[in-house]
Each structure stands twice: as structure tokens, then as C-alpha cells.
Amino acid sequence: MREVPEVVAHLFTWDARSQSFRAPGQAYREVSELLRGHLVGYKDEAAGFQKLELVFGREVTPYSHQVEGLNAWKRANRQGVVVLPTGAGKTLVAQLAMRDTPRSTLICVPTLDLLQQWYSGLLSAFPDANIGLLGGGSHDETPVLVSTYDSAAIHAEELASKYGLIIFDEAHHLPSDFTRVIAEMSLAPYRLGLTATPKRGDGREVDLNTLIGPVVYEKRPEELKGTTLADYKEVHILVKLSPSEQLKYDELIALRNRFLFKMSIQLGSLDGWQAFIKSSGTPEGRKAMIAHREAKSLAYGTEGKLRVLEELLANHPGERTLIFTDDNATVYRVSREFLIPSITHQTPTKERHAVLEKFRSGAYQALVTSRVLNEGVDVPEASVAVILSGTATEREQIQRLGRILRKAEGKKATLYEVVTQGTREERVSQQRKGQWKPAGQTGPVWESINAPD
């Protein structure tokens, strides 16, 4: 390209490095519409979209909110975000949009679970379509491609020209620094975002306006509650160290301290810690080290949370129960101690399928997972969810609620949130960040179990 026609000149920038004019892929639609509008002749060597005829392989009867969402998006020139609660059938809105926008389509999803779920959903919706995967070990090049955000961002350059329609599932992921290039580099004239809540911690949800389009349709969980979605109740449980645990804690610390005193080790310094570690090779030292670790774990309240979990499991026999934890270590601890099947990002794809399938069919009564199932993964008819210490940002709350909101015949879903009473756990974490000040503290001083920095 030597010169840029005047009507689109404002969209291009001279690039001295390559001695050419350059515009971001995202400008494609505006450039071609302006050129056509002003009857400027041009040759399009940028777009590589394919035509795509999709025919549903089964009868579909969308709910009214799904049809409304689809129509609102079409009226907005097929650029915009549809906000529906998890469980309200966002996937069908996307499939209808694909059928009605017959161009090669890229679908971006945040997790490997969703990748598999979209893939099998599309295969059954459009049996004749050529559907592929990007991410999780696959690198297909198909006119319908389901990709993780990460893989799509890594391969943004090569994907940019190939897809006429892009669907962003859980679209609030898109505006992050690393993934937004998927939308910026893409030529796709048609863009659909789907999310239960566009809110982000950093306020960048406004960027969705330019990356995809405005919110064109929105329904809150309350508006669909009892109709499409199951009714639910929330129960919050605060865990404290029990008197016996407090006693146990004191005993453990005393045991450790006796050993340290005997060995003249002071934990306040680096040398002290190294001496403690060295001495943990002896049986007595080992015992002291184990006591130290147990005390630490007690202070974090995990034991208390597991005690509550045990009670909840006993109170809901035979009910399908989903357990969420903050970290993988706790997932595996719950799985090992209760023999509850688990899913984390480390679970092999095949196995994660099998586990989800068994949970779905009722062969498994409970499932423990970290954040991997937080979003969108289709786990039907769980009637009990237990969250072991979640961080209470609004987004996560709604996403997690969504897990058990699936309509189940005659069932009232229950969501338990089990949180350790702030003080001690917080103190440890604040202390690590160097923010903790014991000043003004009332009651007994909690002994520092982390040596000072």
C-alpha cells in the first residue's frame, strides 16, 4: 500500500519501520464500510473469512430471554455484549448468533473445562460443522474454532484475519492487558460478548464497549429466579478455633518451644530457622517441626473448615454437593481425607470429563474443586454448594452462585459459605505484607508463628 484513500486516512498510521501504512485489525469493519460508502474501489487482501452454513442437528426452542438477547444483538449491528446469569443458557444465544451470522467463528473461553464443554456442545448442535480446538494441547485450524483466551492471545496474529464472528464467553476476561489483543488485532466485523456480570475489579469493563460493543441486553438472576433458574438460599458459617483447638495449638507451640529452648535456638533470626531445620533431622527435632506446622495449619483454620464440611456432608446425605476451595492444596487435602473426587487445572482432560460425567449422572455424590469450576462450567442439578473461604468480590459471588442455580425438579439449592473468623488468618497475612501493627489490640496476644522478616 502506497497511499491511503482520504476517507479512511484517519484510521491509518505511517509505520517507518516497515515503510507502510498500518491500522489495527479492529479498524477493518470501519475501513471497509467507509470505502464502500464513498464508492472507493479497493482490493481486500486482509480478510480471510469463510462462509459457513450451520444447521442445528436438533430441535431448539429458545426461552424468551434468549430470543430477546439475540435480537437486541442483531439490532446493534452484531456488535455487543449480552448479560445473562450463569445457567440461563448463554450458549444457546451464541449458537443462534452463529447460525444467523454465517461466517467462520472464533469462540474464546477462559478455562479448559469450558473449552471442552463448548466443543461438545457445538458438535451436538451442529453435527455437520467442522469444529476445532486451540489450547489444552490442541492446535486446530477450522472454520469454527474454540480457544482459551490465553491461546487466542498468544496466536492473535495468525487468528486475526480468519474469523468473521468472534464470541467472547465470560467476556469480562477480555479487557486484561494480555488478552485484549485478541479483539484489537482481529478483523472480525461481528462480535458477541457473553457474561453473567461484566464487572471487573479494575473497572476496565468499560473497554468492552470498544473491544466488542455496548451491553445490548441484560437480565439479573433475580429476574429469572424461579423460572429458568432454581430457587436458592445462602447460609454463612463463621469458623473459630474451638476451645480444644486453642488448647491443642497452645500445646503444639509449647512442645516446639521446649525443643527450641533446649537447643538454644531463637526463631527470630535466619540462623535460628536454619538451626531448627537442621535439627529437624533428629526424631525429637522432627517432632517439634511437625508440631510447628500443625500449629500453623490450625491457625489458618483449615481444620475448622473441614470439621464444618464434615457436618454439612452428613446433613445432606444423597444430595449432589459441590465444594469450592481457594487453593489446590486444600482441594487435595479434602479429596484425600474425605475421598471426594476432585477437579483442578492439573486434572487430565479425559479424567475431568469422566469425573464431571459421573457427578452429573449421580454416580458421584460430591465433587471438590478450586476455582476451575467457578465460571460457566455446566454442572447440572447440584443442590448443595459449599464454599470454603472464598474471597468476597461481587463477581466471584455471582459466578459461584451460578453453579447451583441449575433448575432441578422440586429442589431448593443451598449455598454455604464457610469463612474463618478474620482476625488470626488476616493477621498472619497482613504481617507477611508488613502491614500488621499489634497496637491497640485487645485480648491475648496471638503468638507469631511466622518468624519476623
Partner 1 sequence: MLPTELLMFKVKAGLVEPRRLKPTPSHLTLVSSLVNVFESHLNEKRFQLEEDFRALEVGRSDYRVVRGLAHLLANDNAEFETGGLLEPNLVREKVFELAQGAPHSRTRTKRVLEEASKRLQLDSPEEALDLLYADLNDQQRLVSFDPPDPVALLQRFDLAQAQGMLYRAYSLTITAHRNEPARYKQLLKYTKLFGLMVTVEGDADIGFTLTMDGPTSLFSGTTRYGLALAKFLPALLHVTKWDLSAALKPRKDLSWVDPNDDEWSFQLTSEDGYVSHYKEPKDHDSALESGFAERFGKLDTPWTLEREVDLVPVPGGVIIPDFRLVHEDGRNVLVEIVGYWRPDYLKKKFDLLRKSGRTDVIVAVSERLNLEKAGVKTTDFGGRVIFFKGVLNPKTVLELAESVGKTSD
| 420 contacts 237 by C-beta, under 8 angstroms | no
Pick from 119, 124, 71: nearest CA to 93: 71
* Residue in 61, 64, 222, 339 binding partner 1, rule: CB under 8 A: 339
In angstroms, give the least distance from the CB of 193 to partner 1: 21
Q: Which of residues 203-242 bind partner 1 (CB under 8 A)?
A: none
**443 DSSP 8-state letter:** S
Q: Phi/psi zone of residue 386: left (φ > 0), alpha (ψ -120 to 50 degrees), beta? A: beta
* Residue in 187, 267, 288, 373 binding partner 1, rule: CB under 8 A: 267
* Residue in 158, 337, 426, 447 binding partner 1, rule: CB under 8 A: 337
Q: Which of residues 296-315 bind partner 1 (CB under 8 A)?
A: 306, 310, 313-314
**Is residue 364 at the binding interface for partner 1, with CB under 8 A as the rule?**
yes
| 394 contacts 197 by C-beta, under 8 angstroms | yes
In angstroms, give the least distance from the CB of 239 to partner 1: 16
Interaction mask 157-176, partner 1, x per CB under 8 A:
x-------------------
- Sign of CA pseudo-dihedral 260, 265, 266, 269: negative
Q: Which of residues 1-30 bind partner 1 (CB under 8 A)?
A: 13, 15-19, 22, 24
* Residue in 338, 381, 408, 425 binding partner 1, rule: CB under 8 A: 338
CA 413 to each of CA 72, 230, 233, 316, 451: distance values in angstroms, whole numbers, following the listed order: 31, 7, 6, 11, 44
**Is residue 336 at the binding interface for partner 1, with CB under 8 A as the rule?**
yes
* Residue in 127, 277, 357, 441 binding partner 1, rule: CB under 8 A: 277
Pick from 119, 167, 89, 177: nearest CA to 405: 89
Dist. CA 78–CA 74, nearest whole Å: 5
The DSSP-derived string for 21-81 is: EE--GGGHHHHHHHHHHTT------S----B-----SS-----HHHHHHHHHHHHTTTEEE
In angstroms, give the least distance from the CB of 422 to partner 1: 19
Residues of the shown chain interacting with partner 1 in the complex, contacts defined by CB under 8 A? 13, 15-19, 22, 24, 157, 177-178, 181, 184-185, 267-270, 272-274, 276-277, 280, 289, 306, 310, 313-314, 316-317, 332, 335-341, 346, 348, 351, 363-366, 433, 435, 450-453
